[in-house]
Amino acid sequence: MKQHSSLYTSVNNHTRVNKSLLFILLVLCNVFFYASAWADCTMPDDLPTGDLGIIIERMDGSVLIINTTSQSVLCEVSGLGDLSHASAVFSRDERYAYVFGRDGGLTKIDLLKGRIAKRIMQSGNSIGGAISQDGQYIAVSNYTPGGVNIFSAQDLSLVAKIPATYGDAHLQSKTVGLVDAPGNQFIFSLYDGNEIWQVQMENTPKPAAKVIHKYKNVGKAPYDGLISANGRIYIAGLFGEDGLALLDLWHPEKGVQRILDHYGRGEKKLPVYKMPHLEGWAIAGDKAFLPAVGHHEVLVVNTENWQEISRVKVYSQPVFAMASPDERQIWVNFAFPDNNTLQVIDTETYKIIRQFQPGKGILHMEFTPRSEHVWVSVRDIDTVIIYDTQTMQEIKRIPAKKPSGIFFTSRAHKIGL
């Protein structure tokens, strides 16, 4: 019995030692992981910020810092959490990227050092964000809990929490379609509350956010929003009924107007596999090109009177319809199961001038600032493809792990992006 007891003690001690070693090993692994995630990359000394951008690697919680002129990857930064629906904005000096993760993470990346400068968890589920006109504030649009949180761009300290409560029961709504607007404002929509809110940032006596107007009963289920390049017109797409909701920020006293009220979900409904995205700035000259909800069409709209001019029949259900900076082309990608296809629309003739099928999982497109190239993320082949917009020829492929959003620093100087 004594021998058995001695053996038991020996085994028990050995087990405790093994557990201790395992614990130490886990700690070291965690230290190594976070050290790797936050470590600086080796970056060139003469790096021009205006030439940079990032590619979201959605499955790995990482981003690639890229140079758009050399068409090369400079650095990979990891440790950004859930990037399954990530977007980004940039500081005015183009040095920092602010990445909005789906898990509620907000990450500030130093593009010149190739590292995370600051990271916070600000909610349970977020859906994008914006940077204020003066570059001082970062606003994040949240699903869980519903509302918008606003932070200092410098250190990500909290400036204001805006709960998106609506109705007599004070229910909390998901917030969508968040954009920056002139006058240091933010505009966003309440998906569940059927409202559009206008928020003014104030710097005296201390930084604060003030809801200056709530536009109610704008239509059922606004799902996304865009703002025109001059910051005048905010448009919310409606998922629950026909039409779109338009707010003229030059004349807010007119309230929200319904446009295109003959089009939408009130017609024969097709299945919607992925919600269309409006924030791609598909406005070219005096025309807007809008992806149709549940239809295999892109709507062409006169922006003078917001009347429909035409409809372009496209390959499938469009997700993004994005205008090139020279406003000559609209590039369109599509929802599953047809997400292997790209189409290009000529903005003058409304004709489809090219179709590509580079691979499954085409998620996003980004034009270089002067329109010569477009970068396209193709998730399922782990590749970003660069096309020449004049010849429509492929010019390069860049390996990336399950790429999605592509964002260039030129966005720092554009309203709504």
DSSP state of 357: -
Count of other CB atoms within 10 angstroms of residue 233: 18
Structure tokens at 107: 């990450």
pLDDT at 277: 67
Q: Provide Rg for the chain, Cα atoms.
A: 24
Q: Specify whether the CB–CB gap between 57 and 64 falls below 8 A.
A: yes
Kindly tell me the burial class for residue 269, based on how many C-beta atoms sit within 10 Å of its own C-beta (0-12, 13-18, 19 or more): exposed
- Spatial neighbors of 364 by CB under 8 A, at least 6 apart, are 320, 333, 376, 377, 403, 404, 405, 406
Residue 201, helix vs strand vs coil:
strand
Distance between CA atoms of residues 43 and 365, nearest Å = 26
Answering whether pTM is above 0.95, one says no
Count of other CB atoms within 10 angstroms of residue 110: 18
Q: Determine which helix (DSSP H) or strand (DSSP E) holds 300, and give its type and residue range.
A: strand 297-302
- Spatial neighbors of 392 by CB under 8 A, at least 6 apart, are 344, 353, 354, 356
pLDDT at 271: 53
pLDDT at 42: 80
**Would you list the domain boundaries of the chain?**
127-139+163-274
- One pLDDT digit (tens) per residue for the chain, 417 residues: 444 444 334 434 444 445 444 444 443 444 344 344 445 788 887 888 999 999 999 989 999 999 999 999 999 999 999 999 899 999 999 999 999 999 999 999 999 999 999 999 999 999 999 999 999 999 999 999 999 999 999 999 999 999 999 998 899 999 999 999 999 999 999 999 999 999 999 987 889 999 999 999 999 999 999 999 899 999 998 888 888 999 999 999 999 999 988 776 555 555 554 556 676 568 888 999 988 877 899 999 999 999 999 999 999 999 999 999 999 999 999 999 999 999 999 999 999 999 999 999 999 999 999 999 999 999 999 999 999 999 999 999 999 999 999 999 999 999 998
Structure tokens at 310: 């035409």
DSSP state of 335: -
Residue 336, helix vs strand vs coil:
coil
